[in-house]
Each structure stands twice: as structure tokens, then as C-alpha cells.
Structure 1
Amino acid sequence: MAVVINNLSKRFGSLTAVDGLTLSVARGELFGLVGSDGAGKTTTLRMLSGVMDASDGELRVLGCSGDDLTAVQEHIGYMSQRFGLYPDLSVAENIRFYADLFGVESTERKARTERLLAFSGLAPFEGRLAGRLSGGMKQKLGLCCALIHKPELLLLDEPTNGVDPVSRRDFWKILTDLKTEGVTIVVATAYLDEAARCDRVGLLHNGQLIACGTPAELTGNDAVSLDDLVIGKIGGDPSAPLRVRELNEIPRRLVSGVEPPAVSLNQLTKRFGDFTAVDRVSLTVPRGQIFGFLGPNGAGKSTTIRMLCGILTPTSGAGRVAGFDITSQPELIKENIGYMSQRFSLYEDLTVEENIAFYAGVYRLPAAKRRERTEWVIEMAGLTDRRSSNAGQLSGGWRQRLALGCAILHEPPIVFLDEPTSGVDPLSRRKFWELIYSLAEGGVTVFVTTHYMDEAENCDRLALIYRGELIAVGTPLELKQERMRDGELPSLEDVFIGLIEERDRKGDQ
């Protein structure tokens, strides 16, 4: 066995993060860890890697006692959620640093570096400083650094969070190749379609292993979906799926053309030196729609959103948001929108109430309105019993809902959500989308980026941007119908990947 765990526990003061865990992973196995936020996945991986000691129990890794893993440390690869990159080194220099650290031979180094740069799409950016990469591109660079040597045991903590479907597919091809070569892999993931590719899956909740088996065993040979299984096990109601709205269900006053659109762009362009990040983008988003903005990492999504939010000035083209010009009226735009970034924009050392009070001050809410909206946010986020807790102590799902509450504290007509559910467990994601639906039904326009294709299915309309250009716009059904083959609708992920590959082929001609 590569990993043997017997009654393992880890406590932090009065908090038990891992509680009596018993588990084994065979050599050459691809084992997935899934579970709720704060379930103990990261703590388990840290103990397996030797960077954290257990409080109780027994652990053996590659035949070595968990009391001291020094003898096998060089045979363990570990990629944490916040993998250590050096922002002042280039992409190539970061990879070279980790190759030196792991003692990778020069002949093997060249081939592995080229392969990793190709899979990640970072080859054109190998000279760029890591600190100047987008969040998703930094994540992919972290993957490259973790995989530059071929360890016997590879531990990955949500390695594809914030990574687009094309890169996720390519990353899993590499994992499959590593498994074929005999590498044991333990991967924690928030993507249940990834968990379904594992040999076995363990479900953690409140520090305990509550289910373990092959995907087929856990789902009863697909009698239930892995999503519904996980949601049901961690306390949700899998029988209450989200209802996808049809366009004719959006309040007609919002799409009838009587009111101006929430967002309108005409040939919007942004260049940085000789690099064109956004290239002549034109689109219209009616009020009250949930509009999904998709694209690979580095495609231009974040740059577009920054222009829409009045943070970046376009190089050319025109645009209006909430009726205001993005070039001449950026401050008015900022007052009339809500924005939630990938990092949730919370102050971790402030309490829930203090974070809300801070944003209420930023939005200059009157005292009476401030009290009313504070109570609304706390109730909406389910934080009534945690209003005095520091934001940094909250699980991902709670921080996510608190960040949304702070972003819409001033009741803006438009809210921009930049990958708001990245790394959050399936139940929290479902609850978050219920909030998005309630906002849209109240007439709020929601402009959201996501790498979860099941979330993209929940949008009224979608746009796909690639290499700065808009290459597809339509409802999820329209986009799938356009690529239907032999009477069968493809998945949205297949549509996404197909459009990207098609554009690449055109670019190579």
C-alpha cells in the first residue's frame, strides 16, 4: 500500500479537523477526496505530505512511518491550494527552480518542461513574470512546477480550481499517463466529474470518512448522480434541483426593449503595448438576465469585466453599463454595480458584522438602511450564529455568501461575479445559485464568469471569448443545437472545447 491510515485525528485547540480517519490507498491508484468545505481534505493531505503532524492515530506513507517522513520526502509531490510561486521570476524560471529543487536530470527536464508548457498553454508566456499572470494561469504554472519531477506519490489539493475545461481535460490526461507509469495519486477536488474519473472516491464530512468506494459503487451504477450523492450525504436535498429559466420566463418588462439594456458593447478593444487582450467585442445584455461569460484562462474575461466596472479604460470602442458610459462615467458605474471577485474581497481579520459595516460605509448607506441591509445579508448568508466570527474562520461557502451580500449591500441593478464558486463544495454551489436566481427574479442583471459547465447551463445566455475575440453567443440550448451530430445534443463542455479547437485550427491555417 502507498498510504495506510488508521484512526488518524488532527485537532486545533477545541476544533477536530480530522476525526478517526481510517483509509488505505494502493500503489498506482488514483484516489479522489471530495467533501464539504472544512471537511478535513486539506488537513489530511498535509499530514500525508509530512508538513503537518497528526494528533492521534497511525500513518504510513510509502512504507515509512508518519512520525518522520524524511526518508521518503523526495518521492512525494505535493501541490497545495496556494502553491508557492515566485512572482519576480518568469514562468520558465519558476519551472527551472523547482526542477533544480527536485534534482531533475537535464535531459529529462527539457522534455518534461516542453510537455508541461504545451499542456498548460503557457508556452507563449514562458518569459512573462509569474506575478503578472492571471489567477488561472498562475494555477496552471503551479501544476507545471508540481509535475516537473515524477514522484512515487502525488498529492494534489484542488489543483484545477480556476482552470478552464480545456486545460482541465489536458491536466487529467497527464494524471492518467502518470497513473499508467505507476504513480500513486491522491487528489482533492471540488469537481465531481473529476472525482468520477478516479479509481475510488472518499467522501469526508466534519473530519470523518462517511463514504468510500468506486464511483460505480457509490452511485449504484449511476442510479444516482455523484452530485446528488454528495449533496445528500452532507446535508442537502438532492431532490430539489435548480430550475433553469426559459427566456420567456424573464419578466417581460426587462427584455421587451422598453428599458435600455444593462450592458451594451460596441467594438470594445483593450491593448497592452502590442498585446491585444480584448479585440472588438460587441454584445448586449438585457436587464434581468443571468449572463454567463466563458472562456479559457487568459482569454480576456477579467480584462473585459474590469472595463465594464470602470476600472480599466478601453483602448477603443464604446460601451455602456447601467446606462453610463464606461469611458467618461466610470465613477457613476461603480456606484451602480456590485462586484464580487474570485478572492471574495473580504477582510479576514474583521468579523462578519465588521465586514458588512465596512462596505456599508463605502456605499454611504444611511444608518437606518445600513441596519436593515446588515440583517438581510446575515440572514441571506446563513450567518446568524456567526455574526461575531472573523471572516477568515468561515468555510468557503459562508465566505462566498458573505462576499455576495457585501457586493449587493447597496442594491445595485447589475452585479458582476468573477468565478464566485471556484473551489466551493457542491451543496454551497447549489445554494449560491439559488441566491443568483432570486436576484435575477427581482430584476437584477447577473453577469457571471465560471469554469463549471453545469453552472453555465443555469444561465439565460452565454458568450464565449477566446484570444480576446467573441466566438459564440446564445442560450445553452442554442449553442448545443448548433453543434448537434446525428440527432444527439453534445454537452456544454464538449461545445466549449470544440469551439476552442475549431478556432485554433483556423488560426493555424
Structure 2
Amino acid sequence: MEPVIANNLTRRFGELIAVDSLSFSVLPGELFGLVGSDGAGKTTTLRMLAGVLDSTDGDLTVLGNPFPSGVETVREHIGYMSQRFGLYPDLTVDENIRFYADIFAIAAAERKTRTERLLDFSGLAPFTGRLAGRLSGGMKQKLGLCCALIHRPKLLLLDEPTNGVDPLSRRDFWRILRELRSEGVTMIVATAYLDEAERCDRVGLIHQGRLLACDTPDNLQKLAPKSLRNPSLEDVVVSMIQDPVTQSNEDQGSGGWDLKRGAGAGQRLSGLGPQAPLEEVDTRPAVTLDHLTKRFKDFTAVDGISLTVPKGQIFGFLGPNGAGKSTTIRMLCGILPPTSGSGAVAGFDIAGQAERIKENIGYMSQRFSLYEDLTVAENIAFYAGVYSLQAAKRKERTEWVIEMAGLKERRNSLAGELSGGWRQRLALGCAILHEPPIVFLDEPTSGVDPLSRRKFWSLIYSLADEGVTVFVTTHYMDEAEYCDRLALIYRGELVAVGTPEELKRSRATGEQLPSLEDVFIGLIEERDRT
């Protein structure tokens, strides 16, 4: 019998229909993917399957038991890892696992054997005494998975388990999932990474609470518009969830969105770039670093980095979790003083002119730096005050941000009520409200759906075309392809710098070029061996 059978499954929150008449089943031992836009209903669906949220209507059977009446019968056979899995940062790796073993009343003998195996195949065995709060993002995800697996579940539910995790950690995480599948564990994975969805046996595409399609990745790719050449699963997802009116305006006719510099891709808006007239004749690089180093007591977070970023370039800064990316960006933004070495941003010294740097840059963090209990207009007004914009300029820029973000009808909505894509564009607007010549974007598309990611990158291209320098960190290797140049940092050291094409050719062993993800992982593994 199928471990999961849903028939017209529905969940309402007041007048909002989060999940609308969902019907699907999952086969024993299957790895089933759930993909869709922000707010599509993926998390709500998983919460109903986990028995932590009752459906409003429809029928749901999990592991042979009707829900909600049969939840307690099968709860011990379900593992659920939510987006904010409950790790305790002040407990060690071992103590977190023991805590969840206590919750499920795992016997001492089985607990010891099970814990040793989980630590071994997750690679966490050397770190049992480390506090969870001091683990990297990838290690936290692995620990969360260990805690979800401590009671040997028959059904494992994972809600965007690799969100914000670097490619190396993602690869390790999916290796673990493949091992679990070989052991017969049935898994349902909600993910924003379409390359991950392609690894699933079948994929369900949800949009606005409805199931639009459900099939193998290969069969889903056949649903792509005929105009697309060699469509990916992401092309299919974007074409199916995109508003027809928007699509007719943004589709370039041959291959979907044209994300190429100067191609006029997607949305084009005036007023994106810096307006200072002297910028045209200033030939200084946007960013220069010379043996930049940062130490925290005995730990060297950034070790002698030297690089130059010309104006108007989209520069990608890549590296595993904990490699030193955020520390470097904090120094570039004038937030953290370097231990040694030197650097300049927008012509200002990072050690002695931090305040001038802050006036000439925009910064957008991974968490979007918005106040969720303020409205769209109030968030913009707050940042206009921070940047001391005069009344006339404030009004002009406010209207520009609202138009750019597509929030004309939602200017009085709370930021916390917006979908991820809208919050993302609002955060970008607030970061460039004062028209800075340089923008730092720290994983700006983490956890955002494919359509929102493509719209966001069209805005980044528009910024660069107007002369703005964009310094961006990302864990999406397909996004790294969109950058003019890339730098890879690992253990605080600069490992490689070049265009995407140059980096791939440097690692090619024949005529076939490797993917950027293969280059990324290969360089890190090579450095580990030295």
C-alpha cells in the first residue's frame, strides 16, 4: 500500500486557501519531490502529512492510517525536518541527538548503535562535542537530519533541507538521502533547487495550492514550451507558474528568459544606477584588496586575499559555509576592521574611511533586512531616513522602488505578509534607495522560487548595465554562471579567480567542459588533499 494517499486534500486559513483539493500518492521507497513558487502550499502540505496540522477537507492516509484520527498510531514512524528544525544551539551535537532519542524513548542499546551509524554516515563523528550553534550551515542540516532519523522512520518529510547550504554540503546531504532510499525509507522533499528535484523519482509541481503536474523529471521536461531549446526542469516550472501576461512581456522567444548582459533581459527600469556625474570619468576599480587578513584570536578567518573588481561588473564570491565570505564582506562594508593588509571600496579605505564607504554602498543580507511589522511604504520610509534623502528625492525613489518591486497594490501590506520574491525585491529597493555605485548582495535568492530568482537576476543585470558594481555571494551554481567573474574562497584563502568559462576550462580533462558545481567541488577537494 502507498505510504501516502491524498484525495482532494484542502487546508484553509480563514478565507485563504493554502492547499486546494490536492490529490496524489507516494509509492513505497520513493523519493518524491515537491516544488513550487513561494506560498504555493508546500510547507502546509508537509505539515499535514506529518500530522502537526489537520486538513480542512479531503481525505489523507499516511502509512495505512487515516488522518487525523490515526496520527498517534503512526507518529513514531514519521520523521519531519522543518525549515527551522529545532536544534538547540547551546547543546552539543551528541546532546541534541540524545535529546531526540529521549523524545522517542529509544532503548539504550539501540540508541548507541543508531547514533554511531548516523554520526558515521553524516560525517559528524569528529564533532560530537561541538555546540550546535557553532556548526556551519551544512553541518547543522546534517545534524537536523540525524535527529529526524534517530527513531528509524518509515516516512521522512524534508522541508527545503539544503536551503542556504553550499554545493559540497548539498552533495553530501543527497548522498545520505540516496543511502536512505536504498534502505527502503520513503521520502518527500520540498526544495527550491531544481537540480535537486531532478534527482527525485517523481516531482509534484504546486502553485497557489493546486497540483499542476506530477510525473518523473524526464516526463515533466516534455511539458516545456516548444520554443525552448534543451529545456531544463526549471524552465518547465517557470513556464507553468508564470503569469501569462507577464510571460508575454518577458519571454524572449527562444529559450525563455535571456539572462545575458546587455540583452535587455526581463524588466528594464530607468533610474537604477548612480547619478553622480563624476562617476563617468572615475576609472578607479570599485573594489581592491591587497593581502587582506582577519584574525579572531588564534583563528584566521580571512588569509591574505588580493583581488580587484572593476566598475560595472557582476562579481560572484563563492565558497563553502564558513569559508570566510561573510567576514570578507563585513570588512568591505566597513563593519569589521581588518587585522592586516589593505583594501578600498568606491575609492575609500576600508580601515580608515568606514563611514564614507557606508554612504556609497548598498547592502542586502540573506534575511533581507526588512522590518516585518512595518508596511512596504514604512520600510522604504525608514531607509530613506537612514540615507537622509530629501523630501522630493524620497518621494521619487519611493515610487521607483514600489514600481520595481511590483508592489503598487501592496504598499500598505506588512512586509512579513509578503511572499519571498516580493520581500526580496523590496529589500533590494531599500538597499539601493540612495543610488549607490556598489551593491553587496549576500545570498539574495536563498530559498526563493525559480521565477522570483530569474526576475531578480534581470534586475541585477539592469543595475550592472547602468554602471553599478554588484558583489554577490550565492550557493546556486547556475546563478554563478550569470556573473562576469568569480572568486572561490576556502578556509579563508583565495583558491581561484576568473570568468565562469575560464574556471571550467582550467578543470576540463577533454572537450567536454565540467559544470561549475564540479569545478567548485573539485577545487575544494584538491585543496583538502594538499
TM-fit CA distance, 1:473: 0.3
Q: Are 2:309 and 1:304 aligned?
A: no
Contact 1:254 1:287 in 2 (8 A): no
Which residue of the partner structure matches residue 233 of structure 1? 240
Q: Secondary structure at the match of 2:416?
A: helix
Which residue of the partner structure matches residue 76 of structure 2? 74
Could you tell me which runs of 5 or more consecutive residues in structure 2 were left unpaired when the two chains were aligned.
225-229, 263-272
TM-fit CA distance, 1:133: 4.2
Which residue of the partner structure matches residue 368 of structure 2? 344
Which residue of the partner structure matches residue 107 of structure 1? 112
Contact 2:76 2:151 in 1 (8 A): no
TM-fit CA distance, 1:27: 1.2
Which residue of the partner structure matches residue 263 of structure 1? 287
1:178-257, aligned counterparts within 5 Å? 178-220=180-222, 224-235=231-242, 237=247, 239-245=255-261
Identity over the aligned pairs, expressed in percent? 74
Aligned partners of 1:254 and 1:496: how far apart in 2? Answer: 39
Q: Secondary structure at the match of 2:338?
A: coil
Q: Residue 388 and residue 458 in structure 1: after superposition, are their counterparts in 2 closer, same or farther (change >3 A)?
A: same
TM-fit CA distance, 1:261: 1.0
1:326 to 350, 358, 367: 350
Contact 1:344 1:403 in 2 (8 A): yes
Aligned partners of 1:127 and 1:271: how far apart in 2? Answer: 24
1:96 to 98, 117, 123: 98
Q: Residue 48 and residue 407 in structure 1: after superposition, are their counterparts in 2 closer, same or farther (change >3 A)?
A: same
What whole-Å deviation, never above 9, does each CA across 1:213-239 have from its counterpart, x for those lacking one? 111111129963211110110016464
Q: Secondary structure at the match of 1:380?
A: helix
Aligned partners of 1:308 and 1:80: how far apart in 2? Answer: 34
Aligned partners of 2:178 and 2:204: how far apart in 1? Answer: 19
Q: CA RMSD in A?
A: 2.2
TM-fit CA distance, 1:254: 12
Contact 2:221 2:231 in 1 (8 A): yes
Q: Secondary structure at the match of 1:44?
A: helix
1:452 to 456, 466, 476: 476
Contact 2:115 2:150 in 1 (8 A): no
Aligned partners of 1:233 and 1:254: how far apart in 2? Answer: 45
- For 1:31, give the aligned amino acid: F
Tell me whether 4-13 or 312-321 shows the greater mean CA deviation: 312-321
Aligned partners of 2:370 and 2:221: how far apart in 1? Answer: 37
Q: Secondary structure at the match of 1:399?
A: helix
Could you tell me which runs of 5 or more consecutive residues in structure 1 were left unpaired when the two chains were aligned.
none
Contact 1:255 1:288 in 2 (8 A): no
Q: Secondary structure at the match of 2:84?
A: coil
TM-fit CA distance, 1:364: 1.1
TM-fit CA distance, 1:306: 1.0
Contact 1:254 1:443 in 2 (8 A): no
TM-fit CA distance, 1:136: 5.1
TM-fit CA distance, 1:256: 11
Which residue of the partner structure matches residue 26 of structure 1? 27
Aligned partners of 1:112 and 1:294: how far apart in 2? Answer: 32
Contact 1:77 1:146 in 2 (8 A): yes
Q: Residue 352 and residue 148 in structure 1: after superposition, are their counterparts in 2 closer, same or farther (change >3 A)?
A: same
Aligned partners of 2:51 and 2:278: how far apart in 1? Answer: 56
- For 2:510, give the aligned amino acid: D
Which residue of the partner structure matches residue 506 of structure 2? 482
When the two structures are aligned, how many residues end up with a matched partner? 498
Aligned partners of 2:340 and 2:356: how far apart in 1? Answer: 20
Q: Are 2:401 and 1:384 aligned?
A: no
- For 1:167, give the aligned amino acid: S
TM-fit CA distance, 1:323: 1.2
Which residue of the partner structure matches residue 56 of structure 2? 55
Tell me whether 289-298 or 330-339 shows the greater mean CA deviation: 330-339
Q: Residue 96 and residue 274 in structure 1: after superposition, are their counterparts in 2 closer, same or farther (change >3 A)?
A: farther
Aligned partners of 1:221 and 1:411: how far apart in 2? Answer: 41
Q: Residue 459 and residue 403 in structure 1: after superposition, are their counterparts in 2 closer, same or farther (change >3 A)?
A: same
What whole-Å deviation, never above 9, does each CA across 1:296-336 have from its counterpart, x for those lacking one? 11111111111111111212111111111111121221121
Aligned partners of 1:498 and 1:80: how far apart in 2? Answer: 31
Q: Secondary structure at the match of 1:497?
A: helix
Aligned partners of 1:243 and 1:335: how far apart in 2? Answer: 30
Aligned partners of 2:301 and 2:147: how far apart in 1? Answer: 26
Contact 2:223 2:236 in 1 (8 A): no
Aligned partners of 2:359 and 2:278: how far apart in 1? Answer: 21
- For 1:14, give the aligned amino acid: E
Aligned partners of 1:59 and 1:254: how far apart in 2? Answer: 65
1:397 to 406, 414, 421: 421
Q: Secondary structure at the match of 1:462?
A: strand
- For 2:257, give the aligned amino acid: P
Q: Secondary structure at the match of 1:52?
A: coil
Q: Secondary structure at the match of 1:372?
A: helix
TM-score (norm 2): 0.90
Contact 1:36 1:425 in 2 (8 A): yes
Contact 1:254 1:288 in 2 (8 A): no
Q: Residue 116 and residue 97 in structure 1: after superposition, are their counterparts in 2 closer, same or farther (change >3 A)?
A: farther
Q: Secondary structure at the match of 2:429?
A: helix
